[in-house]
Structure 1
Amino acid sequence: MRIRLDISYAGTDFSGWARQPGGRRTVQQEIEDALGVVTRTGRTFELTVAGRTDAGVHARGQVAHTDLPEELWAAHGEHLVRRLAGRLPKDVRVWRAAPAPPHFDARFSATHRRYVYRVTDHPGGVDPLLRDHVLWHNHPLDEAAMNEAAGPLLGEHDFAAYCRRREGATTIRTLRELRWERRPDGILEATVVADAFCHNMVRSLVGAMLFVGDGHRAPEWPGRVLAARVRDSAVHVVRPHGLTLEEVGYPPDGLLAARNRESRNRRSLPGAAPAPGCC
């Protein structure tokens, strides 16, 4: 039976979500190994995740699923979260484990992912207690200019200029929200929401916005880069530690099957040839 897991982790000491060769520490490996221990099987129950975060990226609202034998869930399900808490390291938690509805897929059923990137332009730097979660930008930032620059990026576009290409994958995405707000403590938060993200997309968008915010580029520049559809050497991929996956959204249970089909469709822009890959 399919089990949904709701997960959070501090990405500082992880080499990303996905298992990697060479013994690098990853979130997937920690959870899968812990599942094998607490279910007393020693087996690897593979996790499918909503979004594969990079090394150093955090998550508060990550979602994954795994398929367990029904008898195993009957024997261990009631105590699984508590037992995982006793086995997992302190920088990763499973907050909920429950049977998923029919057709649920942590990756393909998702309707949106919401990330937040946090940065401070305080001349004194970052609060030491927040140093693993907030980027220091050593120039004053104009959030109004960054919000102006964000406008042309919203909607469905080919984000090739802001993504690291992967063989067989499309770079067409629908960016639903990109806005900057300054908190009372002075920290700037960029909220970025899309149906899905390609590799390095959020960190590249933030890098472009910061160039506008500190006056090195005009607000029109990120839109021109987007329209060019090629990587611009001036677009910096900012460091990962300021980024947190805050939420993954799903449709009502009755729409899960339709969402799965839609997510697997190849995407193309109007008037363009279909792009390879999915999501």
Structure 2
Amino acid sequence: MRLRIDLAYDGTEFHGWARQTGQRTVQGELEAGLAKILRLSPEEVQVTVAGRTDAGVHAVGQVCHVDVAEEVLERAIGHMTGVSASEALFRRVSRVVPGDMSIFSLEPAPEGFDARFSASDRVYVYRVADASAQRDPRLARMVLRVDDELDVHAMNEAVSSTVGLHDFGSFALPNPGGTTIREVKYAAWQRVPDMLLTPDGVYGGGAQASATQAVGAAPSSGAGVAYGIRAAESGLLTFTIIADAFARNMVRSLVGASIAVGRGKKTVSWFHEKVAHPQREGLTGPAPACGLTLERVNYPSDALLAQRADAIRAVRTLEE
């Protein structure tokens, strides 16, 4: 039986996704937990992931799959009653994984599903607290701090050139025998608006508007904004990028080059030249891993899962 697993993790203390001897990795911890519950050796459990993340990179929408014989899966039930084997495994593995991982769901996968090859696109977000943002120390492990005030307009002018099919050789490293050609569907920087969380709902607006609301009358039914709490991400800069797949270091290098433009150290035309003429010249390295999160992996309808997987598997085999 193929099982789909949706999970999240704080990547700070992990040496990336992929299993490595002597290193703490997400794959290693997950497979060890599954093996323990199913009474298998770690070598007998192998999960396939939608997208490998580097050391220090986080995920809230990671997806993987694992194939388990039905008679082995039944071992997860133990003394539980009234639950399916997959539900029993979900409950048990949720308890044994470390605290910097969370299992959101574990259930039988639709026919034709492959966590990696069936995916239609991946969504990453990079978060930055520049000089205009209120720096919340609770977010330090998932947000990059930048002392300058960044020019968001210039950064968006720069990354607009990444949308479409391009060779991202100026920003990424290919796998052995692979390519850095990728199709970006969306790429944009934006500042998260100030959002006030209240008993009556969520109210947007600038910091001044929120402050005014907080001392004034509630706009609707009661306690309202007088008890409002500023949302933690208010004021941060976010870079959202969506693509069918990503080459190694691609997102973080695009962020590093964007920040150079936002600081005024590089021009928009310089960035566009890097996209138009791929060459790894080493002038801008990847931004730190801490700000990057895999937010979501999208899949086509169940009826198209196998068709998508077959098409992408053929392409990836040629590349990698």
**TM-score scaled to structure 2, two decimals?**
0.81
Match of 1:263 in 2: 312
User: 252-261 or 128-137, which moves further after superposition?
Assistant: 252-261
Q: Identify which of 136, 139, 142 aligns with 1:133.
A: 142
2:303 paired with 1:254: yes
Match of 2:5 in 1: 5
Q: Identify which of 234, 242, 245 aligns with 2:291.
A: 242
Q: 1:167: Cα distance to partner? A: 1.1
Which aligned pairs between 1:174-189 and structure 2 lie closer than 5 A?
A: 174-183=183-192, 184=194, 185-189=234-238
Which aligned pairs between 1:71-90 and structure 2 lie closer than 5 A?
A: 71-76=71-76, 77-90=86-99
Q: 1:124: Cα distance to partner? A: 8.7
Which aligned pairs between 1:106-125 and structure 2 lie closer than 5 A?
A: 106-122=115-131
Aligned residues: 270
Cα distance in 1 for residues equivalent to 2:188 and 2:291: 16
Q: 1:236: Cα distance to partner? A: 2.1
Query: CA contact under 8 A between 1:19 and 1:29: conserved in structure 2?
Result: yes
The verdict on how the C-alpha distance between 1:177 and 1:123 changes in structure 2, with shifts beyond 3 A counting, is: closer
CA offset digits 1:202-248 (Å, max 9, x no partner):
00001111111111111122220112211132222000010000000
User: 150-159 or 69-78, which moves further after superposition?
Assistant: 69-78
Cα distance in 2 for residues equivalent to 1:246 and 1:15: 19
2:178 paired with 1:169: yes
Match of 1:35 in 2: 34
SS of residue paired to 2:319 = coil
2:252 paired with 1:203: yes
Query: CA contact under 8 A between 2:132 and 2:235: conserved in structure 1?
Result: no
SS of residue paired to 1:55 = coil
Runs of at least 5 residues in structure 1 that lack an aligned partner in the other structure: 268-274
Query: CA contact under 8 A between 1:126 and 1:134: conserved in structure 2?
Result: no
Query: CA contact under 8 A between 2:134 and 2:235: conserved in structure 1?
Result: no
Root-mean-square deviation (CA, aligned residues, Å) is 1.7
Which aligned pairs between 1:208-227 and structure 2 lie closer than 5 A?
A: 208-227=257-276
Match of 1:25 in 2: 24
Query: CA contact under 8 A between 2:87 and 2:107: conserved in structure 1?
Result: no
Q: Identify which of 134, 152, 156 aligns with 1:147.
A: 156
What is the one-letter code of the residue matched to 1:249? Answer: N
Runs of at least 5 residues in structure 2 that lack an aligned partner in the other structure: 77-85, 195-233
CA offset digits 1:168-223 (Å, max 9, x no partner):
11111001111111112321000011000000000000111111111111112222
The verdict on how the C-alpha distance between 1:265 and 1:125 changes in structure 2, with shifts beyond 3 A counting, is: same
Percent of paired sites with the same residue: 46
SS of residue paired to 1:174 = strand
Cα distance in 2 for residues equivalent to 1:138 and 1:276: 44
Match of 1:65 in 2: 65
SS of residue paired to 1:113 = strand
The verdict on how the C-alpha distance between 1:124 and 1:181 changes in structure 2, with shifts beyond 3 A counting, is: closer
Query: CA contact under 8 A between 1:5 and 1:94: conserved in structure 2?
Result: yes
SS of residue paired to 1:169 = coil
Cα distance in 2 for residues equivalent to 1:233 and 1:28: 31
Cα distance in 2 for residues equivalent to 1:151 and 1:123: 23
2:45 paired with 1:45: yes
Match of 1:270 in 2: none
Q: Identify which of 94, 110, 117 aligns with 1:101.
A: 110
Which one has a bigger Cα radius of gyration? 2
Match of 2:230 in 1: none
Query: CA contact under 8 A between 1:171 and 1:198: conserved in structure 2?
Result: yes
Match of 2:319 in 1: 277
Cα distance in 2 for residues equivalent to 1:246 and 1:219: 27
What is the one-letter code of the residue matched to 1:53? Answer: T
SS of residue paired to 2:88 = helix
Q: 1:56: Cα distance to partner? A: 0.3
Q: 1:89: Cα distance to partner? A: 0.7
Q: 1:266: Cα distance to partner? A: 3.6
Cα distance in 2 for residues equivalent to 1:249 and 1:73: 27
